[in-house]
Amino acid sequence: MKISGSRVLLTGATGGLGRGIAKALDERGARLLLTGRKQEALEELARELRSAEALAADLAKRDEVAALPERAGHVDILVHNAGLPGSGRLESLSEEDIDRALDVNLRAAITLTRALLPSMTERRSGHLVYVSSMGGKIPTARSSVYAATKYGLRGFAGALRDDLHGSGIAVSAVFPGFIAGVGLQEGVELPCWAPKRTAEDVGAAVVKVIESGRPELDVADAGQKLGAVMAAVSPRAGARLRRIFPIEEIAERTVEQQRLRGKR
């Protein structure tokens, strides 16, 4: 799709990745509908962009998710970027923690898509983009719930893409790996061997899948991409490969940082 002039509903707009995506789309001339929990933060971001509207909504609240499409009005492109970590051992998470991660990361994407599809189908035009994670291809310690949502987003996008074949509506998924200073890695000092991308790289990837119609795009280094292949071809060999590196140590530090920030 042509981004310039298109109305783009972007969820999770004020997080680190969201800001990178918003700025990349803004540079392409998108008319942005920014959503997140905090109206003030959304308005601050909107003032930095050329054409943006702030629509505060808590995607963990089902009534607010249901109301969002009508508030947004005409939408040409959905970019579902909102996400909660849901990190830690499963037994350490409350039912509320689990429900919030499932609702924000996965259910909101499905519900918003379902609401937006009829008008896109009638126009025979639209693009649906889901920001998953390399954690949706590579299972890692302390991320069972998070991985469930991100694997789920990939499966949802893939099946929906087949359903919509020939409809004029494109479906894409983007898979960020280690992102410096934002998202899961915010406040976590990663080892020098851990290759890192930026929020701007993720924004560029979102632009690329929209303009090219590409089904999937990894924002990751060759090592992480190899890990994804290994996880798919031989789960046992993939797990052995991951254990060579101190992944669990990084995961524990990540969980602790999220706990301190109250974002688990």
Q: Which helix (H) or strand (E) holds 52?
A: strand 52-56
Question: Is residue 245 classed as helix, strand or coil in its secondary structure?
Answer: coil
Distance CA 242, CA 256 (A): 21
Asked whether the beta carbons of 64 and 57 are under 8 A apart, the reply is yes
What does DSSP assign to residue 5? T
Distance in angstroms (rounded) separating the CA atoms of residues 64 and 67: 5
Question: Is residue 151 annotated as part of the catalytic site, yes or no?
Answer: no
- Edge-to-edge strand order for the sheet containing 7-10? 52-56, 31-36, 7-10, 77-80, 126-131, 169-176, 216-219
DSSP 110-179: HHHHHHHHHHHHHHT-EEEEEE--GGGTS--TT-HHHHHHHHHHHHHHHHHHHHTTTTTEEEEEEEE--B
Catalytic residue among 130, 146, 156, 178: 146
What sign has the CA pseudo-torsion 112, 114, 117, 118?
A: negative
Q: Could you give the residue numbers annotated as active site? A: 146
